[in-house]
Amino acid sequence: MSSTKLIASKSQGLHGRIRVPGDKSISHRALILGSLATGTTHVSGLLEAEDVLATGEALRALGAGVEREDAGWRVSGRGVGGLNRAPGKLDFGNSGTGARLMMGVVAGNDVTAVFTGDESLSRRPMGRVLTPLKQMGLGVGEDGDTLPLTLTGSTDLVPIVYELPVPSAQVKSAVLLAGLHAPGKTTVIEDAPTRDHTERMLAFFGADVHTSRESNRRSITVTGGSALSGRDVVVPGDPSSAAFLIAAALVTEGSDITIEGVLINPTRTGFYQTLKEMGADIAFENERDEGGEPVADVRVSSSKLTGIEVPAARAPTMIDEYPVLAVIAAFAEGETVMQGLGELRVKESDRLASTLAGLTACGVQASAGEDSLRVTGSSAIAGGATVATHMDHRIAMAFLIMGLGTEEPVAIDNAPIIATSFPEFAGLMGDVGAAVQEST
C-alpha cells in the first residue's frame, strides 16, 4: 500500500466468493507453541501481517527457527524452557497480543529482553499481564505499566491460581504460557468466556490442559513440565477480518458475497449473532472442522437492518468488531445501543472515542458513555470526512466501509496501519467490487 491515504465511495452490488487471510490470534499462537515444542511445526494459512511477523521475529531472536517455506511456515521448536538465546530488544510494533503473550513466554525462560513497541502499543497497559507474571517470578526492571520494559525470566517460576480482573484472552494466555514452564498446576479463572485458542492449541500440541465450566465461569488449568510436540497447524480465516467484508455487503445495495473458510469458534461469533438479531441475511454454509477449530463459508446479502440493544455479556465474543458494528448501525433503522465496552478504551486506540469521533465526523448521530455507545441509524449519511485512525487498523477499515454507503466519500488518514492485521484489505474490497481507492 504505497499511498498514506485511502478513500471509499458509494458502491453497489458487491459479488464474489473470496477468502480472508488467516486468523490473527491463532497465527500468533501457532508460532509461539511451535517454538515451545520439540521438533518441527508446519503452519499453513498463517496471517502474514506485521503483527504476526513481529512475533515471529521475537521468537527467532530467542532462538527458535521461524522460516517461510513453499507451503507455509516452518517452525523449529526449542522445547519448553529452551528459548534462552539473549535477544536484546524485542520490537512488537503495534501488537498487544504479540507483546503480552510473549511476556508469558519470556517469564519462563532464562533470558532478559527489552520489550518495545510503536507509539500506540507504548501507551497500552501492561500491568494486567505483569501483575500475575510477577507473582510467578518474572523480573521487571521498571516500575511503569507501559513499554519499553526490561523483563527477566526465571527457570524457577511458581504456579498460581489467577482470577482475571478483566475479560482478556491475552492475560489468560500469558499466564497459561508461563504456567507451562512452572512446576505443578497453574489455573486461570474467567467469569466471561474469552477466546479459547490458547487452551485448544495447547491441548493440540500435547500439553496437559483442562477446562472446567460452571455456567459462564471457566477454570483453565495447565500442568507445567509436560512436553509439547511439533504439529501441522491449519489457520482458518479471520472472522474479525471477514467482518469488514460482511459489513460492506450489508450496507451496499444488491450485494451477495460468500467468504470461504471463516473461523466460527463460539468465543468469536458474537458479531454474527448480533447481525442476525438486526435482521441481516447471513448464513453459515458447509460447516466443518479444520485443524481443531470449527469453520464455515459465510454467505451474506444486503439487508434491511433494525437497531437493537447489544448486551454487555456478549462483548468478549465480539470485542474487535464494535467499530464496524457501529458503522453498520449507522445504516440501520432506529437506535443501536452497545453495552460493556470498557475494554475498547485500551485497544490500539481508545476505540470508543475513535469510533464516536469518526461517526460524528461523517454526520451520524451518536453518543458514548464510559463503556457504552449509542448510534442512531439513518438512510442518508453525509460522509465527506477524513477520519482520524489514531494508529488503529480497525478504525481505518471500519470507516472505509462507512464510505461505501455515504453520500460523499470517506477517507482515512493512515492507510499503512491496515497492514498490521489485513494487508490484503484494499485488494479484496476491489475484488468484490467496492470502491476503495488510493488518494494522495
Q: According to CB under 6 A, which one of 245, 319, 332, 361 is a site residue for ligand S3P?
A: 319
Q: According to CB under 6 A, which one of 169, 324, 357, 375 is a site residue for ligand S3P?
A: 169
In this structure, are residues 387 and 413 in contact, taking their beta carbons and an 8 Å threshold?
A: yes
- Least separation in angstroms between residue 195's CB and ligand S3P is 6
In this structure, are residues 337 and 315 in contact, taking their beta carbons and an 8 Å threshold?
A: no
Q: According to CB under 6 A, which one of 7, 11, 21, 25 is a site residue for ligand S3P?
A: 25
Kindly report the three-state secondary structure assignment for every residue of 330-373.
HCCECEEEEECCHHHHHCCCCHHHHHHHHHHHCCCEEEECCCEE
Joined grid coordinates for residue 272:
454474527
Could you give the maximum distance between any two Cα atoms of the chain, in Å?
62
Residue with Cβ nearer ligand S3P (9 or 267): 267
- Least separation in angstroms between residue 240's CB and ligand S3P is 7
The residue of the chain with the least Cβ separation from ligand S3P equals 25
List, edge to edge, every strand of the sheet that includes 65-69.
65-69, 72-76, 40-44, 232-234
Q: According to CB under 6 A, which one of 195, 218, 231, 314 is a site residue for ligand S3P?
A: 195
Rounded Cα distance, 365 and 175, in Å: 41
Q: According to CB under 6 A, which one of 35, 55, 120, 170 is a site residue for ligand S3P?
A: 170
Rg of the chain (C-alpha set): 21
Three-state DSSP at 416 gives helix
Name beta bridge partners: 5.
439
Catalytic member of 143, 320, 392, 431: 320
Residue with Cβ nearer ligand S3P (6 or 47): 47
Binding segment for ligand S3P among 5-13, 103-111, 165-173, 247-255 (CB under 6 A)?
165-173
Binding segment for ligand S3P among 13-21, 140-148, 169-177, 210-218 (CB under 6 A)?
169-177
Q: According to CB under 6 A, which one of 173, 221, 302, 389 is a site residue for ligand S3P?
A: 173
Closest to 185 in 3D by CA, of 176, 193, 196, 174? 176
Residue with Cβ nearer ligand S3P (73 or 331): 73
30 Rama class: left (phi>0) / alpha (psi -120 to 50) / beta? alpha
Joined grid coordinates for residue 298:
459465510
Whether residue 371 lies in the annotated active site: no
Rounded Cα distance, 80 and 62, in Å: 12
Rounded Cα distance, 167 and 277, in Å: 24
Binding mask 334-373 for ligand S3P (x = CB under 6 A): ---------x------------------------------
**Residue bearing cell 457501529:** 326
317 contributes a contact to ligand S3P by CB under 6 A:
no
In this structure, are residues 28 and 55 in contact, taking their beta carbons and an 8 Å threshold?
A: yes
Binding segment for ligand S3P among 64-72, 138-146, 163-171, 244-252 (CB under 6 A)?
163-171
Residue with Cβ nearer ligand S3P (27 or 186): 27
Binding mask 59-98 for ligand S3P (x = CB under 6 A): --------------------------------------x-
- Least separation in angstroms between residue 65's CB and ligand S3P is 23
Residue with Cβ nearer ligand S3P (170 or 389): 170
Binding segment for ligand S3P among 42-50, 164-172, 179-187, 323-331 (CB under 6 A)?
164-172
168 contributes a contact to ligand S3P by CB under 6 A:
yes
Three-state DSSP at 144 gives coil
- Least separation in angstroms between residue 333's CB and ligand S3P is 29
Binding segment for ligand S3P among 131-139, 167-175, 222-230, 257-265 (CB under 6 A)?
167-175
In this structure, are residues 217 and 191 in contact, taking their beta carbons and an 8 Å threshold?
A: yes
Q: According to CB under 6 A, which one of 57, 118, 238, 320 is a site residue for ligand S3P?
A: 320
Give CA separation, 69 vs 30, 41, 66, 233, 302, in Å.
Answer: 15, 12, 10, 14, 39
Counting DSSP H helices and E strands in the chain, the numbers are 12, 24
Binding segment for ligand S3P among 148-156, 162-170, 201-209, 252-260 (CB under 6 A)?
162-170
398 contributes a contact to ligand S3P by CB under 6 A:
no
Please, what is the end-to-end C-alpha distance for the chain in angstroms?
A: 12
Q: Summarize as ranges the residues that interact with ligand S3P (CB under 6 A).
A: 25, 97, 168-170, 173, 195, 319-320, 343
Catalytic residue set = 320
